[in-house]
A = this chain, B = another copy of it.
């Protein structure tokens, strides 16, 4: 069975400047909080070892999310496009934007798509000037994405902003309701607002949920799994959030969850392929 890991940031180019690689001790401590061991490839910053880990586990491709952040660092779309060009069988790239200028942001999206990136990743609370997901300044960008059929990924869970108010799912709920034809995937699965984000996905059928690392060892696992087995079967996106969790160890753990066998391929790759509009 194919596997798309919906959030996998390799040790390449600009990623190495973000704190997920430049602050390895912090990353490894977070890994331990999830009850997992660090990936050797992350500690060694070795993409070749990452490929070995992916191959051993059977992970077909990873979705390399772009990032334009103050506290967490930035990976340019140019770097991302270069990664995808160099390893087209390994990675799918999703662009990031600078939200401070709507015209520039839309130009970034256009350039990124021309360069082979397939969607837009927004991280509102992590921008140099943090925004709520339903900030008016993001609305022209949502409108552009909805009108042009561009899938939008949003980091809206975990430490996605300066404080917990940035992940309250009401912000996402408004965006999803105001742009009902825009496909919207929630990275970090809205955690810790587990019940609430699952309500958003219950009510808004354009919302996809990817709990990624927060599925593991954190409160709420059972609730995410129940939804995945039920109404979320076609909108749950598998992801490890590598390098925070080891992509291969996470997949082995994920396979132990009580998920209906007949939907496993939807969770592991088909939903991601449909969401991103790519064939795998």
Contacts and interface: CB of A to CB of B under 8 A. Distances in A.
Interface size range of chain A in the complex: 35 or more
Interface stretch (A17-25, A44-52, A53-61, A170-178): A170-178
Given A162-B177, A163-B173, A231-B217, A195 B194 contact: yes
Contacts of A73: none
A35 B230 contact: yes
A193 to B, nearest CB: 7
A198 interface: yes
A43 interface: no
B191 A192 contact: no
Contact of A163 (B170, B195, B226): B170
A87 interface: no
A169 interface: yes
Interface string A246-269: 000000000000000000000000
A228 to B, nearest CB: 11
Interface string A170-200: 1001100100000000000001111110111
Contacts of A147: none
Given A35-B230, A162-B177, A173-B163, A198 B202 contact: no
A230 B198 contact: no
A164 interface: yes
A32 interface: yes
Interface in A217-252: 217-220, 223, 226-227, 230-231
A159 interface: yes
Nearest to A172: B164
Q: Which 5 A-B pairs have the closest CB atoms?
A: A219-B223, A192-B199, A33-B231, A192-B195, A164-B170
22 contacts: A33-B231, A158-B199, A162-B177, A163-B173, A164-B169, A164-B196, A164-B199, A164-B200, A168-B170, A191-B199, A192-B195, A192-B199, A193-B195, A194-B195, A195-B195, A195-B219, A202-B218, A217-B226, A218-B226, A219-B220, A219-B227, A220-B223
Interface of A: 32-35, 158-159, 162-165, 168-170, 173-174, 177, 191-196, 198-200, 202-203, 217-220, 223, 226-227, 230-231
